[in-house]
């Protein structure tokens, strides 16, 4: 009898991977191990992954560095959810003869969550919810969106959707990114401005840029200090786009009204992190893409990639 292929599914926090695809079609050809806890210790991670020929990774939750890949002598295939994964060292994977495949993606989840966070902050929904449950009634006054200005950093697929959402709420839309043109901004219903103008004139600033060496830390104290004291910052893109210490400083000073964050420098967010304790920060655990339709695509595409690989080998 042929040796079974050992498959690992990593970082399935909600323990749902086996419910979003019919893994039984692999039959007796494979043994599947699902890990629902995130391992940050590199030696322990290598020990955990050493037996596996196929590793299925969820976005950028577990990095696949050269050091890690060099130790995984049995690894032949990595399947990553989403169209790209910056935490996989593709050059090293190629050097070690490891194939890397990606799944499809549903693009509606991230902008929908971003708008939900914006609305939640504007109308103080989390606070009012807790107050009602504790016996209080009408303790805050909400912020109107009509007539307000939203500044969008990065006007790609998600940023452009955010612009359309804002226009539907009769907001003024400003946009900036290093290579954004006036024509592209106007096509999205936005006005191209300088970075300084965006931060100083916006009532809401929403970040939608791809993380790279150039964009890392693109939002820093000098930008945040330009914001109105009544303004809000939203980041559902990548944590390191903002210099985290600078954002903490601004929030602790009360220089802006608040921030809504779905992404962080370290994920999962450490238990003692300041963001967990700040009243003017609304946090979610990187759930922009965590939706039923997205997970169907992720895990069903992962399963198909495994089937294709088994057939070809």
pLDDT in tens, 88-123: 999 999 999 999 999 999 999 999 999 999 999 999
Question: Could you give all domains of the chain from N- to C-terminal order, each with its CATH number?
Answer: 5-106+292-312 (3.40.50.720), 109-283 (3.40.50.720)
Are the C-beta atoms of 259 and 282 separated by less than 8 Å?
yes
Are the C-beta atoms of 49 and 70 separated by less than 8 Å?
no
Q: What is the pLDDT of residue 59?
A: 85
Give the H/E segment covering residue 3.
Answer: none
Q: Tell me how far CA of residue 202 lies from CA of 60, 93, 107, 148, 233, in angstroms.
A: 31, 43, 25, 8, 10
- Give CA 205 to chain center in angstroms: 17
Q: What is the mean pLDDT of the chain?
A: 96
Helix axes 157-168, 109-122, angle to 10 degrees: 40
Are the C-beta atoms of 71 and 47 separated by less than 8 Å?
no
Which are the contacts of 81, defined by CB distance < 8 A and separation ≥ 6?
A: 56, 57, 58, 59, 102, 103, 105, 298, 299, 301, 302
Tell me which residues are annotated as active site: 238, 267, 286
Which DSSP state fits 291?
S
Give the H/E segment covering residue 174.
Answer: strand 172-176
Neighbours of 253 (CB within 10 A): 11
Are the C-beta atoms of 101 and 128 separated by less than 8 Å?
no
Q: What is the pLDDT of residue 181?
A: 97
Biggest CA-to-CA distance, the chain:
70
Percent over 70 (pLDDT), the chain: 99
Through-space distance between the first and last CA atoms of the chain, rounded to whole angstroms: 16
For the chain, which ranges sit under pLDDT 70?
Answer: 1-2
């Amino acid at each position: 009898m042929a040796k079974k292929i050992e498959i690992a599914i990593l970082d399935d926090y909600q323990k749902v991977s086996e419910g979003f695809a019919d893994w039984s079609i692999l039959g007796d050809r494979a043994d599947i191990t699902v890990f629902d806890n995130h391992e940050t210790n590199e030696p322990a991670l290598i020990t955990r992954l050493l037996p596996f020929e196929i590793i299925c990774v969820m976005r950028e939750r577990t990095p696949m560095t050269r050091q890690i890949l060099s130790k995984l002598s049995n690894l032949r295939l990595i399947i990553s959810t989403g169209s790209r994964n910056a935490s996989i060292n593709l050059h090293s994977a190629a050097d070690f003869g490891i194939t890397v495949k990606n799944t499809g993606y549903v693009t509606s989840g991230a902008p929908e969550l971003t708008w939900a966070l914006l609305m939640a902050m504007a109308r103080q929904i989390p606070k009012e919810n807790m107050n009602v449950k504790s016996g209080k009634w009408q303790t805050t006054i909400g912020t109107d969106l009509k007539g307000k200005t939203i500044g969008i950093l990065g006007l790609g697929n998600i940023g452009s959707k955010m612009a359309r959402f804002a226009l539907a709420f009769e907001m003024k839309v400003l946009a900036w990114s290093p290579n954004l043109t006036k024509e592209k901004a106007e096509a999205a219903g936005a006005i191209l401005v300088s970075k300084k103008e965006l931060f100083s004139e916006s009532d809401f600033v929403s970040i939608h840029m791809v993380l790279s060496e150039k964009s890392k830390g693109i939002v820093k104290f000098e930008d945040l200090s330009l914001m109105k004291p009544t303004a809000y910052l939203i980041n559902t893109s990548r944590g390191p786009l903002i210099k985290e210490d600078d954002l903490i400083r601004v929030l602790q000073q009360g220089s802006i009204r608040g921030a809504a964050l779905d992404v962080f420098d370290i994920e999962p967010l450490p238990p003692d992190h300041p963001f967990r304790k700040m009243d003017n920060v609304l946090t979610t655990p990187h759930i922009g893409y965590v939706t039923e339709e997205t997970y169907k695509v992720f895990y069903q595409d992962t399963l198909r990639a495994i089937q294709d690989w088994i057939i070809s080998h």
